[in-house]
Amino acid sequence: MSFAADTAVTRLAPHEGTVRFAGEVHDGWDIGGNANGGYLLAIAARAMRDASGRPDPVSVTAHYLRPGKPGPVSVEVQPVKEGKTFASVRANLLGADGRPLLSLLGTFGTLSSTLDASEHHELVDAAPPEMPSFEECKPRQHAAELAPAFMDKVDLRLHPDDSVFSSGQKSGEARMRGWFAWPEGADGEREEVDTIGLLQATDAFPPTIFNVELPVGWVPTVELTTHVRARPAPGPLRCEFTTRFVTGGFLEEDGEVWDATGRLVAQSRQLALVPRG
Amino acid sequence: MSFAADTAVTRLAPHEGTVRFAGEVHDGWDIGGNANGGYLLAIAARAMRDASGRPDPVSVTAHYLRPGKPGPVSVEVQPVKEGKTFASVRANLLGADGRPLLSLLGTFGTLSSTLDASEHHELVDAAPPEMPSFEECKPRQHAAELAPAFMDKVDLRLHPDDSVFSSGQKSGEARMRGWFAWPEGADGEREEVDTIGLLQATDAFPPTIFNVELPVGWVPTVELTTHVRARPAPGPLRCEFTTRFVTGGFLEEDGEVWDATGRLVAQSRQLALVPRG
């Protein structure tokens, strides 16, 4: 089992301008029975990327329509524009019954893996979150702490200050910081996180609002947009998610993903519904 | 002339599951010959809203594919899901030659106009930008300061600290704050900004990076997502746009729009290309 294998898609014969793919929601990627949103996004984005003919997602938006269950899925991709720099496609990820689970829009291109400040004007008014090292942070594990099954599929290591929610406490800040990596395989090796993996990273962490005085429960994603800025260097990723506005039944979750060299590699924002409580 | 009239669309006969609309890019909404991105978004969103059967955009994403020129346009909308709370649709805005200018994905619903904290859990970790009053801030005018023609279509009043770029200075902060309203008509009345107008407000301001040491030029939008949180109260809107990451040739612009009662009514993020210079 690997992320690449569990999100793989097979291209089928096209039909009236639609490029069709078959995939599968594998067991174990769920949180309370529903497949994790980042995982569904990764399956769809893999198909979109293939249809786009470009190596990297640049900006991908998914609207979450229905929960995904283990079993076969398909992705119907429609090319919208083939440009010199970018290709844009739209897609629906369909469940076994043919109803859409996610509707997506994406722009794909070729991202740099060695951002060269001399090539581009740079301005960065932020820094990766300060955290204890990857080795010092405790992995979240399914069996050990009643975390969702999904937590065995990723190696997620929360900042100790932000993981207090799991023992019923609240940090008081709507923030979740931690490391993201793929788990060690039987051979002791880890799959490296590529630009499709970054999409997963932006929707893998416990909700920020678990750390504030709001009801703890399912926080359904309405929409998630991820901007991928660069291909990450090998090594665990530093991630930070924050929420500033819980209003009118909605909240946003803003994410930043930094690679091992301290470079921002992805930025995300999702609109979600406040749990009823 | 009014925003509502200049972004109006007419529903045509549907064709194979696609709801089609005719509209027009009116003169004067351009910046250097290309129609403003927020204006094109508003035309498309009006058609999407109509097809969705719901009164308000909740989350709308547009990918910008080609510049828009004055003349006829059409919008092809495909319903994706009709839910109890939300309806999701996707759309393409097509130019006179039938090629897509924008590709869009949106979720529509019914938003509150009187957010009641007692109905919902609330948490707001931010405040509207501090600014001189609407009356004290100077309107940007086309003729007066070589601002784009588009500036006569909106009543945009920048924070004096952030408008220094127009005299060739730099504030040093990648930030643009100001008031947004529709201009006074011949009768001295102003159209109120509704939730479609909010989409326009999130892409109407000069680029944040005009205030930092980067080349000044066209900042092409790749993708813009706007979350509308509530229907705004009558009166001018306070807006703030900031950029924290200019990397690898890309930058994001994060927007917040606050209404006259001090309530956050919209949040936006766009991915754009750094001007070549």
* pLDDT single digits (tens) A165-191: 988 899 999 999 999 999 998 899 999
**Which residue from A81, A223, A248 is facing B230, i.e. has the nearest CB?**
A248
Q: How confident is the model over B85-111, as a mean pLDDT?
A: 97
CATH architecture of B1-110: Beta Barrel (2.40)
The answer regarding whether domain A133-277 maps to CATH 2.40.160.210 reads yes
CA-based R_g, chain A, Å: 18
**Closest-CA distance of chain B to residue A150, Å:** 27
Q: What are the backbone dihedrals phi and psi of residue B272, each rounded to the nearest 5 degrees, phi first?
A: -135, 165
pLDDT beyond 70 at A1: no
In Å, how far from its chain's centre is CA B67? 16
Q: How confident is the model over A97-114, as a mean pLDDT?
A: 94
pLDDT at residue B218 in the model: 87
Give the DSSP letter of residue A62. E
pLDDT beyond 70 at B120: no
**Closest-CA distance of chain B to residue A249, Å:** 6
Using one digit for the tens of pLDDT, what is the confidence trace for B227-247? 999 999 999 999 999 999 999
Structural domain spans, chain B: 1-110, 130-277
Mutation target among A90, A99, A121 for the B interface, most CBs of B within 10 A: A121
Contact assignment for B103 to A88 by CB distance below 8 Å: yes
Write down the pTM of the prediction. Answer: 0.96
Contacts of A208 in chain B (CB under 8 A): none
**Which residue from A229, A246, A271 is facing B248, i.e. has the nearest CB?**
A229
pLDDT at residue B156 in the model: 94
pLDDT beyond 70 at A257: yes
Contacts of B248 in chain A (CB under 8 A): 111-112, 115, 120, 229-230
pLDDT at residue A142 in the model: 56
Cα–Cα distance measured from residue A200 to residue A229, given in angstroms and rounded to the nearest whole number: 15
Contacts of A112 in chain B (CB under 8 A): 248
pLDDT beyond 90 at B217: no
- At residue A161's C-alpha, the angle toward residues A155 and A162, to 5°, is 55
Which CATH number applies to B130-277: 3.90.1150.10, 2.40.30.10, 2.40.160.210, 1.20.1580.10? 2.40.160.210
Helix H, strand E, coil C: the string for chain B is CCHHHHCCEEECCCECCEEEEEEEECCCCEECCEECHHHHHHHHHHHHHHHHCCCEEEEEEEEECCCCCCEEEEEEEEEEEECCCCEEEEEEEECCCCCEEEEEEEEEECCCCCCCCCCCCCEECCCCCCCCCCCCCCECCHHHHCCCHHHHCCEEEECCCCCHHHHCCCCCCCEEEEEEECCECCCCCECCCCHHHHHHHCCCCCCHHHHCCCCCCCCCEEEEEEEECCCCCCCCEEEEEECCEEECCEEEEEEEEECCCCCEEEEEEEEEECCCC
Q: Which residues contact A159 (CB under 8 A, 6 or more apart)?
A: A129, A131, A132, A137, A176, A177, A178
pLDDT at residue A120 in the model: 63
pLDDT at residue A145 in the model: 52
Rounded (10°) CA dihedral B24, B25, B29, B30: -170
- Judge contact between B101 and B40, C-beta under 8 A: yes
Average pLDDT, chain A: 92
Q: How confident is the model over B111-129, as a mean pLDDT?
A: 75
Q: What are the backbone dihedrals phi and psi of residue A85, each rounded to the nearest 5 degrees, phi first?
A: -90, -40
**C-alpha to C-alpha distances, A91 to A64, A153, A161, B266, B268, nearest whole angstrom:** 12, 26, 39, 26, 23
Q: Which residue of A has its CA nearest to B59?
A: A223
Using one digit for the tens of pLDDT, what is the confidence trace for B18-32? 999 999 999 999 988
Give the DSSP letter of residue A83. -
pLDDT at residue A152 in the model: 86
What is the pLDDT confidence band of residue A274, given thresholds at 50, 70 and 90? very high
Q: Is there a common fold for B1-110 and B130-277? A: yes
